[in-house]
Amino acid sequence: MSKANGASQLVALEQLKEESELEALSVRQLKELLARNRVEYRGCVERADLLARARTLLRDHVRYRDELESLPLEECCKICMAAPLECVLLECGHIAACTRCAKQLAECPICRQYVVRAVRFFRS
């Protein structure tokens, strides 16, 4: 995940195999990775804070990718039905979409309220 021609390369979750690969990413790449996956990072001041959020994101991604076949229907994205629920839609608060589908929504599929933004959530 090196820089090419002075510009940082985009990194997708699907490209990462291990958490140790996150260490090689620049701060900019970490922020882009988090932003594309709807993870809020505005309060992060240190690189370590960004890494912690990226690690949580990657762990969830790997866990759900491995469990996707046995995922209960109620925990699947209501749009594509091929990914786990990952985002809460604001302002209505419905949890109805995966990250990929949430990026494309203009209105909530449940209540039809305008989607101001989608925020990724993590289960504890």
pTM over 0.75: no
Q: How many CB atoms lie within 10 A of CB 79?
A: 16
Sign of CA dihedral 73, 75, 77, 78: positive
Residue 3 pLDDT:
44
Confidence band of 8 (pLDDT split at 50, 70, 90): low
pLDDT for 2 beyond 70: no
Decide: 80 and 100 in contact? Cβ < 8 Å.
yes
> What pLDDT score was predicted for residue 6?
41
At 113, give phi and psi (nearest 5°). -75, 150
Q: Is the pLDDT of residue 63 over 80?
A: no
Distances (CA, A) of 12 to 89, 100, 106: 22, 12, 23
pLDDT in tens, 10-47: 788 888 888 889 999 999 999 999 988 888 888 888 99
- Give mean pLDDT, residues 72-100: 90
The pLDDT value given to residue 55: 93
